[in-house]
Amino acid sequence: MNLRVISFLLFAALATNISADASPQDDLPITINSGTDVLNFDWPQISVGTAEYEAGPTGVTVIRFSEKSLVAMDVRGGGPGTINAPYVELGYDLKELDAITLTGGSWYGLEAVTGVASALKDDGVRDGDAFAYPSTFAMSLGSVVFDFGSRRLNEIYPDKRLGQAAYRNAVPGRFAQGAHGGGRSTVTGSLFGCHAKSGQGAAFREYGDVKIAAFTVVNALGVIVDRDGRVVACQAKNEWPDDLTASDLMNNLPAIREDNWGDAQSAPEARNTTISVIVTNQTLSPQDLKRLAVQVQSSIPRAIQPYSTAFDGDVLYAVSTAELSEQKISAIDLGVLAGEVMWDAILNSVPAQPVIPQPLDGKTRNDPNWRHLTGQYRFSDEVSVEIVLGEHGLEAKALGDRSAFAISNEELTPLIAAENDQYIIDARHPTVVAFRSGELVLNPGRWQQVGIKTN
């Protein structure tokens, strides 16, 4: 066998191994366009699709425009992750935008953004002619939020496959709100120890012939507040005021994370981002469209406090579908109105918070018949949990370098019997535990993590 043949066979074997290892998520089931809290809006030019990996959980939201549109953007905060931002910042007066993708997975999720562009080409909607005028080349913009770390126990991320599924299943006039799409595993308020569940939101208004739509995925270090300054969602300590305001939280830093405000499990989840899209049908010049992006993003700190910290990678896209050539509303007034629509979208992003079941008697259940539940449960390569039957009942311990929510990796954690055959772990942020056939489920429901019994 000559050297050329040997080299070819080695390359083929290597390519086969790379191919086998490169797509570990290909068998994950995809959930398409889920959700019952839906904003329905009348704008045929805009279609929205969501796709999620329940095993994450993580997901992607694709906002698709039926005709190429004008776009500008405003980038703030200390850790943005975007595709094609430098090109957009050049401010060309060209209708080039096809879609915007809002995705989890941090920088890994950028694969979903480029996947939307390749789907546009593969489906024959766009082609490879970058010099045609008007443009026939696909332009997909997008930004990511961080949804790893303490938010979940695995590193599944939105990939090309998921982005293309969301794009290909986009439908006009429908936006699922709450923990869906790119907002599936987002949180807010970690700066203060709130760790509230978050999501994605939308709002739509019409002012005569002018339409304004706002879409956002909120994963902010700060808290969401209503128009009276009240915090909308926070896992608050009992000692905190009932009518909690953002001022209460901010004026008590850093003490809020110390003993006099209770144990806030203080280390903030220092990877956060709010990504937003504001759309109007009024034609705007590149300068006015850029100013719209800046003005609307400058209004968001009313709704999220604080905003654009060093640990937030906030990005806002401003889009004009250019369906109205005549100026119906001045650029300044349009920015004011759009800021109010965006505040509504942010408020609509907050899902119903998890309900913690009540303990039965404040003690661990001591029943020898539960011994079959003991063993190790694997959640991912990063996290496993061991269940043992101790002196007072079931106890848990995370194996490896990471805790599993409130299950410590340093010592055994008692499971307290609760309603509905569930258990809770008494902590600043309680963890709910349930057993299914061969499975250990942490925080059953929308944000659950499922571990498979291995022994």
Q: Which two tokens stand for residue 328?
A: 């119906």
Question: How distant, in Å, are the alpha carbons of 79, 223, 225, 245, 304 from that of 229?
Answer: 27, 10, 5, 6, 10
What is the CB-side half-sphere exposure of residue 83 using CA atoms within 13 A? 26
- Cβ(171)–Cβ(63) under 8 Å? no
Task: In whole angstroms, give the CA distance from residue 195 to residue 412.
Answer: 24
- Cβ(412)–Cβ(374) under 8 Å? no
Task: In whole angstroms, give the CA distance from residue 248 to residue 126.
Answer: 52
Q: In degrees rounded to 5, what are phi and psi of residue 163?
A: -60, -40
Catalytic residue among 273, 309, 321, 413: 273
**Angle made by CA atoms 98, 45, 340, in degrees to the nearest 5:** 95
Q: What is the DSSP letter of 215?
A: E
Bridge partners of residue 314, in order along the sequence: none
273 is catalytic: yes
Q: DSSP for 81-96, please give it.
A: -EESHHHHHT------
CA-CA-CA-CA torsion for 348, 349, 352, 354, nearest 10 degrees? -170
Task: In whole angstroms, give the CA distance from residue 157 to residue 165.
Answer: 14
Which residues are part of the catalytic machinery? 273
